Amino acid sequence: MPRALHSRSPAVSDPHSDLPTVVRRSSSGLGPSAPVLQVRRPMASYGVSFAPVATAVHVLGVLVLALILYWVIAFRGGVTLWGSAPALIFNAHPVIMFGGFIFVSSEAILVYKTLSGTKRSKKLVHMSLQAIAFLLALVGIWAALKFHLDSNIDNFYSLHSWLGIFTVVLFFIQWIAGFFSFWTQSVAGSTRAAVLPWHVFFGIGAYVLAVATAVLGFLEKITFLQSGSLGHYASEAMFVNTVALLVVVFGFVTVLAILIPAPKEEDGYQAIE
């Protein structure tokens, strides 16, 4: 995602614009970066710096994970990956899909701005974290599948499951394409340059889809419970709805962190990198 830096500069004006002149500089932070101008007082166009937004991602991620754990333990009888209680194994599904898949993936996306070091070391951390996120997603899917199989429930009929499969397939394609394009660099440079914006687009797209799928999962589970004995305004329903809203907020803040320039670019003058 390109970043925009602001500076008032009477030398470059845009007669079509009725807003103060803004000089912008693009830098993806996720790939090719070629400053096109040295601006006088570079400033994040959003007016907020990266650090507090990144902190909000970390804190919200841990908070939501804790709330999901609280839900399955306090309301749903606990959570396990072993043993013969299908319902408790199912409870690992939301915990792992959020804590392992979505949260780890959001940290993997932000690695290019949260870590210092060479671009290649950041790439290594990025693709390692995304690999961990993907493998944890498979474990999370297995937990739901095992519950279904052990309980004789149909599989893959719901929109939640359809979108979930769509998401992990897109995630897998992204990982493979990213690996060969940007790590082993098995393709021509011009192809890598062409792949990059699509990698970012479908990467953020898959991430937003994962968040949306999680929200669908919360709705599906609560609707199942409410077609049984759970009241429409039961405290569990209100609790889970609130957690789902926090997941949405978490998604918003993560995408904002993706769009905001990294701190190193907010230190006044900077040379052509």
The interface with a second copy within residues 146-175 (CB under 8 A) comprises 154, 157-160, 162-163, 166
- Sequence-separated (6 or more) residues with CB below 8 Å from residue 267: none
Q: Of 134 and 182, which CB lies nearer to a second copy in the complex structure? A: 182
Q: Is 194 in the site for a second copy (CB under 8 A)?
A: yes
Near a second copy in 87-146, by CB under 8 A: 119-120
Query: Please, what is the minimum distance in Å from the beta carbon of residue 83 to a second copy?
Result: 27
Q: Of 33 and 80, which CB lies nearer to a second copy in the complex structure? A: 33
Query: Sign of dihedral through CA atoms 24, 28, 29, 32?
Result: negative
- Counting residues that bind a second copy (by CB under 8 A) gives 79
Q: Is 31 in the site for a second copy (CB under 8 A)?
A: yes
| Cα 245 from Cα 243, distance rounded (Å) | 5
Candidates 66, 78, 151, 198; binder of a second copy (CB under 8 A) is 198
Token pair for 16: 């079509």
| Cα 123 from Cα 105, distance rounded (Å) | 13
Percent of residues in the chain assigned helix, strand, coil, to nearest 5? 65, 0, 35
Q: Of 92 and 260, which CB lies nearer to a second copy in the complex structure? A: 260
* Side chain identity, residue 270: Q
Range in contact with a second copy (rule: CB under 8 A) among 27-35, 61-69, 93-101, 261-269? 27-35
SS3 160: helix
Q: Is 47 in the site for a second copy (CB under 8 A)?
A: yes
What backbone torsions phi and psi does residue 205 show, to the nearest 5 degrees?
A: -60, -45
Candidates 233, 267, 269, 271; binder of a second copy (CB under 8 A) is 233
